[in-house]
Structure 1
């Protein structure tokens, strides 16, 4: 199964997409892809089969987002808390990630044609070494694509993301790259790995955030649906966007930051890419 699927969109689906696009479309949509295990139980298959089905649904949803012109998508793929699940399920999820990231590398020409940039957010150091190398290769190989940015939160929690951002800022002050007066909510926001989503969708009927993008959702429209993630359809996505159109606050104005803050952020970005390159060259 391709990461970006060449699935055929029916005439009715295409018409609905065009109608929804006449309104405001979120520039960044996040998904908590919940319900894979319940889908597996419902269909009398093991949990790993449910997770595989859920990943296929991600590639399909990504295609719909491309059709809608959404430039950034973030998905919650694996929480740090998920490491507490059974060894069998965790190993299965790691194998799933290996398989899908390897397929991404095999289909790199297609990914680049679609202009999809892959960014994996989270503690990559917690991943098995071979998977960490694959993930890093995927990010490097798609680094200069700009049509759609796909953020995959893996070995991630919101609290951990905030604590890592705080550590970077403290180090910046210690190294005289920042002053205490430079620290404000805009700096914290830009130091985080994930940007603010305009719309967050959670499937399977759960109505909580589960430690996902905790800092970023202060102005985010939340949409909860009972449908299980592997059964998510383009009509569910369009319903979420219509909900967004009815409830969204005005777009946030772009905030200028000082040269000092920008240089600090640029240095962080350079260091991040250096670390990713190191994972690839020195596994």
Structure 2
């Protein structure tokens, strides 16, 4: 192994150890961008870029579920992708179908109890791909260990339009009253048809672009999720890139928790000495943070703030 390879491996091991000390995101969504540019970079056919990208997706499934991610949503084919050349679409549909078929027989699917769900207007897809996707959904419909959500023929705005239509139809049929429509009602009418996916905690985009491209607008904006944009094309995405993304989420989440705990301490200080147990109780109620994490944050705060040190009563 080269010196650079040794450094890379060492850094990867270090990152893997670091992220174990903090909670991992429950739901990760990925915009897998750069397959075609990867192929162009090496003067290869476009299908080769998609093939290599599909291999990367399999690796990311392992990386995600092995560290404790519960939901992984991948952007496999957007409504805008229908504008591509027929031959490229045909190859992509065949490749995605093959991957669905493999999921059904892969031992990892059943060991993890991985449920597959498809998000999007599947009526736009060719019959063979619709059949493969539905078979994967049917085979795994009773699993609840982890979830793989595949966005196919997906557009975020169209998802909201379809949800509005679904609710309008229910109102017309007397199944829903207009006064009952709230955020939960809208979420329950989004893709997939058998139940909504949860808010996204972390969104990753490869390929260098820093935009979300009409991907999960309701699920990402509603949760103010962390975003990680990186330069490697999707076929070049490495485990170290994935671990960096997870660390970005953890750093952002820790700062959010720390700011909340600090506000709670300041509010309680208006009434006199701040009892640690009160801070713990209120923090756990509002941000669902473990007791030990609250205590660690309090130690972090008092180590950098003399006033706060004198305010808190242990």
For the aligned pair, the TM-score class normalised by the smaller chain equals 0.7 to 0.9
**Distance between the aligned counterparts of 1:86 and 1:253, measured in 2?**
48
**Distance between the aligned counterparts of 1:31 and 1:180, measured in 2?**
34
Gaps of 5+ in 2: 1-8, 192-196, 258-283, 289-314
Gaps of 5+ in 1: 1-9, 255-283
SS class of match (2:217): coil
Residues 112-138 of structure 1 deviation map (CA, whole Å, 9 limit, x = unaligned): 112211111111111111211111010
Residues 195-215 of structure 1 deviation map (CA, whole Å, 9 limit, x = unaligned): 311100001111111111011
Residue equivalent to 2:79: 80
Shift of 1:37: 0.6
The alignment yields a C-alpha RMSD, in angstroms, of: 2.0
**Distance between the aligned counterparts of 2:180 and 2:53, measured in 1?**
42
SS class of match (1:215): helix
Residue equivalent to 1:274: none
Residue equivalent to 2:138: 140
Task: Pick one of 197, 209, 213 that aligns with 1:210.
Answer: 213
Task: Pick one of 126, 149, 157 that aligns with 2:147.
Answer: 149
Shift of 1:164: 1.0
Residue equivalent to 2:199: 196
Task: Pick one of 147, 162, 165 that aligns with 1:164.
Answer: 162
**Distance between the aligned counterparts of 1:242 and 1:54, measured in 2?**
23
- Asked if 1:32 corresponds to 2:51, the answer is no
Shift of 1:13: 4.5
Which is further off, 189-198 or 25-34? 189-198
- Asked if 1:174 corresponds to 2:169, the answer is no
Number of residue pairs matched by the alignment: 244
Give the structure, 1 or 2, with the largest relative contact order (CA under 8 Å, sep 6 or more).
Answer: 1
Shift of 1:109: 3.9
TM-score, length-scaled by structure 1: 0.81
TM-score, length-scaled by structure 2: 0.73
**Distance between the aligned counterparts of 2:144 and 2:287, measured in 1?**
21
Residue equivalent to 2:53: 54
Which is further off, 207-216 or 95-104? 95-104
Higher helix share: 2
CA contact (8 A) 2:15 2:244 kept: no
